A and B are shown apart, each in its own frame.
Chain A
């Protein structure tokens, strides 16, 4: 019997459920149990070299596959229109399709539903940028067709008053390759649930994440990779830095390897760096294996602290405090950022993090 892939509890979460125990429900502005009065925002596609984009009635789409939590199900049901981005079979474009979701105020509740269909043998990159102030419940459903190679980059650059509940569910076809990057760099409460399932053998999913939580921010990523097909691969790597009082990050990495998923290769890692006192990182990797025939499976989680002794050491070698902190944070993210397919995105993430480092002057004391 599985534990981690149980169907989500029906009904509005109260905060006592395992999946919601870290989330500050009271700060969700009601998104957890009601989307009444919400408006369905239309996501804007800025550029698209190959993809076709259309708004369709959500009723005309098949029912959601994979696990879906109550708030996401509510939002999906209430989103009358869905944006469908279709990447034609065998198309190949190095130029990313750019999608933006722009918030215009935290007061109004917004629902979005985006479907990305990468048809068989296609190869493409989709970059979704989120900006502004918003109270958002978002569903993104991704289908990666047989032999397709799809990268979806999701950047959450929210203003500090934004609330965002997000579900991203990907279904991988035979020999499909899916690469995901989620960068959460702002918002009051951001809770993203990326999930992956395989509909045929040979799928390969790489899920990368970068986050930076500042004072008072709650940033949560809950991943589930459900290996139900043989000979599929998954690799999860999330790195986060936290600074300031009450900065809180949550990373949950659930991987299940079901009885039929022989020859699975999976590895997941989460590393967190606490830059100041008063920040907290919760990190919980879970690996559940139901077959004796696994190629490789592992996980790791570490949380380290940049402390006064490290600062002293770097300063004792002539390095000023600001450079010292930059050095540590840049180094911390370097390996992961080097894996980001899009240079512009990589530069944006590093720039955004460095800007945040300037937000919190050091408690220098006598140093």
Chain B
């Protein structure tokens, strides 16, 4: 079993407007096999948490820690984190000109697994994974995210989740921009990985839409750079019924 531990995490971002603190003391522990949801209004800093875990250079950790089974994550490079078993499904994955999906996926799988899969096995594996997500086989020859629709980008992210089998996955607003059918396909993809492996999942969302498809045992309410309430699925139901009003201005839970 693995544990991803976030303790007293403070993160700032530098922009033209100056330095701004976005995360102001986040505490969160996720164990293998668990699914957590972080819900919060837009601008509360949820995505910053996701990108900080992945190691985006824009965000600077000024206080606190992130550890994976006790090992410091903050000092790891982005690729080291991925190889350690952390995965971020991005809300807006970028286009990468010149790199085909099939080449990208094979390179990534090779890096994560530490050895190149045999070409024959790989093609079979890729084909099956794409079919499971109702992805057109022609997709493999397109450049990464180039000209992809919103739904295609999300499927491509979940395809990677399926192939890379991380220890912990953060899904950043994976439901945004998906119609009902696409949401179901994507959620089924995530659920298959949850069933097949001991993955710990952190869903980041501002609506309960995704949680109806991917049930989370733990729900955390995120406001103003901190977790202000912890609970179970009932907390999500409450937010769906009453919104975030009562949490605004609430003190942190720890």
Contact = CB atoms under 8 A, between A and B. Distances in A.
A276 to B, nearest CB: 15
B160 A317 contact: yes
A317 B57 contact: no
Nearest to B96: A310
Interface SS of chain B: helix, strand, loop or mixed?
mixed
B100 A312 contact: no
B107 interface: yes
Contacts of A306: 97
Contact of A315 (B79, B103, B144, B160): B79
Interface string A295-312: 000000000101011101
A94 interface: no
B78 interface: yes
Interface in B96-146: 96-100, 103-104, 107-108, 111-112, 143-144
B77 A317 contact: no
A273 B98 CA distance: 9
B83 interface: yes
Interface stretch (A188-196, A243-251, A319-327, A349-357): A319-327
B56 A312 contact: yes
Contacts of B99: 314, 327-328, 331
A367 interface: yes
B98 A319 contact: no
Contacts of A365: 57
B120 to A, nearest CB: 22
Nearest to A367: B57
B82 interface: yes
Contacts of B90: 313, 316
B88 interface: yes
Nearest to A308: B57
A332 interface: yes
B154 to A, nearest CB: 14
Nearest to A311: B78
Contacts of A329: 98
Interface of A: 273, 304, 306, 308-310, 312-321, 323, 327-334, 365-367
26 contacts: A273-B97, A306-B97, A312-B57, A312-B94, A314-B96, A315-B55, A315-B79, A316-B55, A316-B78, A316-B79, A316-B81, A316-B87, A316-B88, A317-B82, A317-B112, A317-B160, A318-B82, A318-B83, A320-B79, A327-B99, A327-B107, A328-B96, A331-B100, A365-B57, A366-B57, A366-B60
